[in-house]
A and B are shown apart, each in its own frame.
Chain A
Amino acid sequence: MLTYTTYSEAGGVGKTTIGAALLECHAGHGFDVLAIDMDQQNGSLTYLLDVDAPRDDSQADNIVRHLIDRPKGPLDDLILETEFGLDVLPSHNMLENLEDLLKRAQQMAEDLGEGGEFDPYDRLRQVLLESGVPQKYDVIVVDPPATAGPHLYNAVSATRSLVIPVEPTGKGMQSVLGLEELVDGLEDRLEAEIGVLSAVPNGVGRTADQDRYMTEIRNRGYPAPVAIRDRSSLFEGCWDRQCTPRYYIENHRDRKRDHEMETLEKIDQLATKIEEVGGL
């Protein structure tokens, strides 16, 4: 089984779009794929994949209710099919208050003498373990928001591996350094080993820049099989039409453009590489 979290410290580097494109590739390779959307923002995977989830109905069952041990039904029932060959466990507005809700749930568990069993950073993994959901999938990918916090901690604890889109700028590289510290802390906290399946330089301009950043990332010891060139037009189109990049090109472009096909090809290579490393 392959599990990973797509994470970057900086917002707007195409994390969710690249994540969706990777998921679509895994599905295209014949794997059963589940995306778990932990991002409460409107620009989340749930929106991009255009599934009809009641994200603002606090009475409806949702992922947060499961995380705080107040589910209204089986986790299975929350999972929706998309038209891109993969399933999604959608985001919900309650994720905005996740930290607070987890604290309260932990307090309640402690009051009941069950405090030792409630780890607010390991809830997603626990919920998945108890649900039987992981047995149904070959690939599970969690998409957390681009900030450190309980969403990220739960995502990492439940997947233990990372795919990191990196903005190819000094600031972007800085965020990789920040991530290293964060992950070190998480490894200790979760007593789990965390691996980096791939860094993905995204939005790279000229070839010389691309090479420089690829080299820098690799020198830090991270695999970076491909760099994605600046494809804002394609990625914006995906958000506009609420679909994955391949779907956008196939259904919304009047003609296939070589450079965009090349980008899809690269993402497919990346997906294959990740599958190999993940042992699929």
Chain B
Amino acid sequence: MKKGTGSDPFADIQDEDREETRETEDPTDERVDDEPDSEPEQTTETETPPTDGPSNAGDSGAENGSSTRDSIIGEPPQNGANDAGVPWVYVRDNVKQDREMVQFYLRDYVVDAEDEFVDAVSEELGTDVSKTDVREAAYEAAMYNVDEVVDRLRAWGFESVD
């Protein structure tokens, strides 16, 4: 329990009115010349693994011709470990700050595996991470790995109709 307002119960309906606040806060992109070795590989994801994924469902694929396919997900709106300033994880007041709640429906075997997953991630990082953070990171990571998601869905039985 914290002081101040809680999360927004009607975020779903207010999103539309609020879109414009997003674009202002792009982190300054100053990492061109200094190349820290801890750079995550997300920015170099130009070998376009995602192209075969979702595009065969919707046939139009409007601007597919250009070689640099836009990334599915953009840069996070807050400072990261490699940007100038204090990383988001340190400036937020609590784990739910700036986050919208979305409902996920998960099968039991996934729910059962979550704790172990969180532990494994925490162990790798050498610090405790909340389930909420791990979940979002996992989802974000999946957005850079469309192929793998597609494979998993195929394994569940999703297949193209033709």
Residues on A close to B: CB < 8 A? 1-3, 116, 125, 128-129, 134-135, 157-162, 179-180, 183-184, 187, 191-197, 221-223, 277-279
Report whether A195 and B3 are in contact in the complex, using a CB–CB cutoff of 8 Å.
Answer: yes
Q: A198 — nearest CB in chain B belongs to which residue?
A: B3
Report whether A192 and B101 are in contact in the complex, using a CB–CB cutoff of 8 Å.
Answer: yes
Report whether B3 and A192 are in contact in the complex, using a CB–CB cutoff of 8 Å.
Answer: no
Separation of A46 and B14 alpha carbons in the complex (Å) = 29
Separation of A251 and B122 alpha carbons in the complex (Å) = 64
Report whether B3 and A125 are in contact in the complex, using a CB–CB cutoff of 8 Å.
Answer: no
Separation of A194 and B4 alpha carbons in the complex (Å) = 9
Is B21's beta carbon under 8 Å from chain A? no
Q: A125 — nearest CB in chain B belongs to which residue?
A: B9
Min Cβ gap A3→B in Å is 6
Report whether A116 and B6 are in contact in the complex, using a CB–CB cutoff of 8 Å.
Answer: no
Min Cβ gap A179→B in Å is 8
Is B152's beta carbon under 8 Å from chain A? no
Q: A224 — nearest CB in chain B belongs to which residue?
A: B3
Residues on B close to A: CB < 8 A? 1-10, 12-14, 94, 96, 101, 105
20 contacts between A and B (CB under 8 A): A1-B10, A1-B14, A129-B13, A135-B13, A159-B6, A160-B6, A161-B4, A162-B6, A180-B1, A192-B7, A193-B6, A193-B94, A193-B96, A194-B2, A195-B2, A195-B5, A221-B3, A222-B3, A223-B3, A278-B5
Point out the residues of chain A lying under 8 angstroms from B101, CB to CB.
191-192
Report whether A161 and B14 are in contact in the complex, using a CB–CB cutoff of 8 Å.
Answer: no
Point out the residues of chain A lying under 8 angstroms from B13, CB to CB.
129, 134-135
- Which of A179, A180, A184, A195 is close to B4, meaning CB atoms less than 8 Å apart? A195
Most chain A CB within 10 A, of B4, B5, B12, is at: B5
Q: B12 — nearest CB in chain A belongs to which residue?
A: A129
Which DSSP category, helix, strand, loop or mixed, fits chain B's interface? loop
Report whether A197 and B1 are in contact in the complex, using a CB–CB cutoff of 8 Å.
Answer: no
Point out the residues of chain B lying under 8 angstroms from A128, CB to CB.
9-10
Contact A157 to B9, CB < 8 A, known contacts A116-B105, A192-B101: yes
Point out the residues of chain B lying under 8 angstroms from A161, CB to CB.
4-6
Report whether A196 and B1 are in contact in the complex, using a CB–CB cutoff of 8 Å.
Answer: yes
Report whether B1 and A184 are in contact in the complex, using a CB–CB cutoff of 8 Å.
Answer: yes
Given A192-B6, A193-B7, A194-B2, 8 more A-B residue pairs with CB atoms under 8 Å apart are: A2-B5, A129-B10, A159-B9, A183-B1, A193-B94, A194-B6, A195-B6, A221-B3
Min Cβ gap A196→B in Å is 5
Most chain A CB within 10 A, of B9, B94, B105, is at: B9
Point out the residues of chain A lying under 8 angstroms from B96, CB to CB.
192-193
Report whether B9 and A192 are in contact in the complex, using a CB–CB cutoff of 8 Å.
Answer: yes
Q: B104 — nearest CB in chain A belongs to which residue?
A: A191
Separation of A179 and B1 alpha carbons in the complex (Å) = 9
Point out the residues of chain A lying under 8 angstroms from B6, CB to CB.
159-162, 192-195
Point out the residues of chain B lying under 8 angstroms from A223, CB to CB.
3-4
Question: Closest 5 interchain pairs by CB?
Answer: A160-B6, A195-B6, A193-B96, A194-B6, A193-B7
Q: B10 — nearest CB in chain A belongs to which residue?
A: A134
Separation of A193 and B7 alpha carbons in the complex (Å) = 5
Min Cβ gap A197→B in Å is 7
Separation of A193 and B98 alpha carbons in the complex (Å) = 11
Q: A179 — nearest CB in chain B belongs to which residue?
A: B1
Separation of A162 and B12 alpha carbons in the complex (Å) = 21
Report whether A277 and B7 are in contact in the complex, using a CB–CB cutoff of 8 Å.
Answer: no
Point out the residues of chain B lying under 8 angstroms from A129, CB to CB.
10, 12-13
Q: A195 — nearest CB in chain B belongs to which residue?
A: B6
Report whether A3 and B1 are in contact in the complex, using a CB–CB cutoff of 8 Å.
Answer: no
Report whether A196 and B2 are in contact in the complex, using a CB–CB cutoff of 8 Å.
Answer: yes
Min Cβ gap A107→B in Å is 19
Min Cβ gap B132→A in Å is 9
Point out the residues of chain A lying under 8 angstroms from B14, CB to CB.
1
Separation of A135 and B12 alpha carbons in the complex (Å) = 11
